[in-house]
Amino acid sequence: ADLHKGHLNKTETEKLNMNKRLHRTAGTPIDARGCKWPKTGNYVNVPYYISPYYSEEERNIIIRGLESFHQSTCIRFIPWKSSHRNFIHFFSQPGYGCRSSLGRQNGGQYIYLEKNQCLYHSTVQHEILHALGFHHEQILSDRDQYVNILFQNIKPEQAYNFRKKQTNNLGTPYDFNSVMHYHKYAFSINGKPTIVDKNNYYYEWGYAHQMSANDIARVNRLYRCSNFCLQMSQLDVLY
């Protein structure tokens, strides 16, 4: 098989199936007014609440996504209590797809994970990363060195998801393997690529199944996670 930047080229059927799923699950930050979650001691405690409308299987997918941050960062998701002013609320709203606010907001904030559309491990991680303050990879300040954005192929109402921002990339390189990177046909209006690799037009990416090493490093650098437990920390489930 051909190898490029750590990715195996997929068969056409695999590409088609993955494209269909990723078109549905591409997350979109609602706004950029957020800020970092506060740190207490060695950990950043983020209260969470899961809507009771999710099935047990769906809740377990969300829980697994939350727990993945406990393994490799100092982020700790804790059950919401009435004394918590700021928290994230996982909720399914028909027509809302998969989306999250960018960073901590004032009061409760939704992470929308629509049933039958968004409940994949990578999508849960993607939306949580938005809530922790992280943009999509393809809008980072250094993106023009690595990709071309083909706005003529992008649905006009989705163009904001591709506009470059001035970002602090925390000393990490541009990452095609990031769970925050759209695939090359994301939000295409005509079936043509919307993002292409500057060095290889035919390179396929955007199929990450979980956070990359750079995704994890960015969380740890932003939140200054110097001492964190690498062991799985089980969550108390709150519905």
Q: What is the pLDDT of residues 173-229, one digit of tens each?
A: 999 999 999 999 999 999 999 999 999 999 999 889 999 999 999 999 999 998 654
- According to the annotation, is 209 in a ligand binding site? no
Co-location of 48 and 129 in the same domain:
yes
pLDDT tens digits for the chain (239 residues)?
Answer: 221 222 222 333 333 333 333 333 344 333 344 489 999 999 999 999 999 999 999 999 999 999 999 999 999 999 999 999 999 999 999 999 999 999 999 889 999 999 999 999 999 999 999 999 999 999 999 999 999 999 999 999 999 999 999 999 999 999 999 999 999 999 999 999 999 999 999 999 988 999 999 999 999 999 999 865 443 344 444 43
Rounded to the nearest 5 percent, the helix, strand and coil shares of the chain are 30, 20, 55
Structurally, how many domains does the chain consist of?
2
The parent domain of residue 19 ranges over: 8-26+136-214
Co-location of 62 and 90 in the same domain:
yes
- According to the annotation, is 136 in a ligand binding site? yes
Q: Would residue 146 count as lying in a domain?
A: yes
- Number of Cβ atoms within 10 Å of the Cβ of 65: 25
Helix (H, G, I), strand (E, B) or coil at 142: coil
* Identity of the residue numbered 3: L
Helix (H, G, I), strand (E, B) or coil at 149: strand
List the catalytic residues. Answer: 127
